[in-house]
């Protein structure tokens, strides 16, 4: 199931990049820089696998994925403390409040492309 999910995400990346390449008249894309948050539910290894499988025999065949993994960070709305949420438990270690604002960790973004 994980591989199928990353396969569909890989295909979305390919579609988005193909659109950008068309818009900007790029013939080749050397690298796609991605930001993937720990909460996005996407496994980087499976994503690479899915991307390679989907680009075989296409103009993006030699394109590399550069994946930046973003850990979950939040801010407690009750006491204002900034917290790292590594175990995905959304409770403030300072005041025990569950009212946490997520500051980062949900990204599934294309940051930039490197043409050429």
Partner 1 sequence: MNQKIAIEKKVLSENDRLAKQIRVRLMEHNVIALNLVSSPGSGKTSLLEKTLGALNERLDIALIAGDVQTENDANRLVNAGGKIVRPIVTGGACHLDAKMVGRALEEIDLAAVKILFIENVGNLVCPSSYDLGENMKVVLISATEGDDKPLKYPAMFRRSSVMVVNKIDLIGLSDFDLKRVRENALSINPELKIFEISCRTGEGLESWFDWLLNLSEHLSKT
* Element holding 101 (H helix, E strand): strand 100-104
Q: Which of 18, 20, 52, 67 binds partner 1 (CB under 8 A)?
A: 20
Give the separation between CA 116 and CA 114, rounded to whole angstroms: 7
What tokens were used for 2?
């994980």
Note the Cα 61 to chain centre separation in Å.
20
Site pattern 38..67 for partner 1 (x: CB under 8 A): -xxxx-------------------------
CB of 59 to partner 1, least distance (A): 16
Q: What separation in angstroms does the CA of 62 have from each of 13, 32, 56?
A: 15, 11, 8
- The footprint of partner 1 on residues 63-92 (CB under 8 A) is 88-91
Q: Which residues bind partner 1 (CB under 8 A)?
A: 1-2, 4-5, 8-9, 12-13, 15-16, 19-20, 24, 26, 30, 34, 39-42, 88-91, 98-99, 108-116
């Amino acid at each position: 199931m994980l591989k199928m999910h990353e396969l569909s995400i890989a295909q979305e990346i390919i579609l988005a990049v193909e659109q950008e390449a068309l818009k900007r008249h790029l013939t080749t894309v050397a690298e796609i820089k991605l930001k993937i948050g720990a909460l996005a539910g996407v496994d980087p290894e499976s994503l690479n696998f899915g991307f390679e499988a989907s680009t075989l025999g296409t103009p993006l065949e030699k394109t590399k994925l550069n994946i930046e993994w973003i850990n979950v960070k939040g801010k407690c709305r009750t006491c204002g403390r900034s917290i790292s949420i590594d175990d995905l438990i959304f409770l403030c270690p300072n005041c025990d409040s569950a009212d946490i604002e997520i500051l980062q960790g949900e990204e599934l973004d294309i940051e930039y492309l490197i043409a050429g």
